[in-house]
Amino acid sequence: MLYYVSGTVTVLEPGLAVIDCGGVGYGCRVTAYTASQLKLNQNARLYITESIREDAFDLYGFIDREEQRCYSLLTSVNGVGPKAAISILSAGPQNFTLAVMTGDEKLLTAAQGIGKKIAQRIILELKDKIGGGSMEMDFSAGITPVTPQSGGNAAMAHAALQELGYSPAEINAALKGADPNATTEELVRHALRAMVMK
């Protein structure tokens, strides 16, 4: 099993990166997100997920473990194949996580080949898988308890923002002054706007 490949980027085309490892070129299918962080003739490391079928042996390369984890989650959903997963993740794992956590079908259907039904299935099947673990981390880390009125929506917003890489302190500061009756999506958008305007 290949865990990662590390070497010089010798070919970089839409959807494909070739990494030279000791004279052997490994052709890896990549998202636009990963490709944007690679440069020709420079060293790179890609985490690998193999796809072996009767007629093909494909390597999917990811710039980090988070993107690879999102790919595994996506391909676990019935009806989502490798091509669809790569298409969705081309906007970045953060956008995918945000779309699932906030139930934003439009972010998912913007990916090529993803219709409304598949987008709904992705959200339904992955919301707990993406949010559950994060919410546990949120509370064990001692995040300031959410106000009673905001209940689950604020907790979900905390989880979504933490998945995007923000610290509990940043999230609490960004959510100050938010409408306690807002939906999860509105709370996330409020926080992101507050962080951008800082």
The number of distinct structural domains making up the chain is 2
pLDDT at 178: 85
pLDDT at 187: 84
Q: What is the pLDDT of residues 110-140, one digit of tens each?
A: 888 899 999 999 999 998 888 644 433 333 3
* Range of the structural domain that residue 113 is part of: 66-197
Tell me, yes or no, whether 173 and 86 share the same domain.
yes
Q: What is the share, in percent, of the chain residues with pLDDT greater than 70?
A: 87
Looking up residue 56, the CATH number of its domain turns out to be 2.40.50.140
Tell me, yes or no, whether 29 and 90 share the same domain.
no
Q: What is the 3-state secondary structure (H, E, C) of the chain?
A: CCCEEEEEEEEEECCEEEEEECCEEEEEECCHHHHCCCCCCCEEEEEEEEEEECCEEEEEEECCHHHHHHHHHHHCCCCCCHHHHHHHHCCCHHHHHHHHHHCCHHHHHCCCCCCHHHHHHHHHHHHHHHHHHHHHHHHHCCCCCCCCCCHHHHHHHHHHHHHCCCCHHHHHHHCCCCCCCCCHHHHHHHHHHHHHHC
Looking up residue 152, the CATH number of its domain turns out to be 1.10.150.20
Q: What is the pLDDT of residues 31-78, one digit of tens each?
A: 999 999 999 999 999 999 998 888 889 999 999 999 999 999 999 999
158 vs 38, higher pLDDT:
38
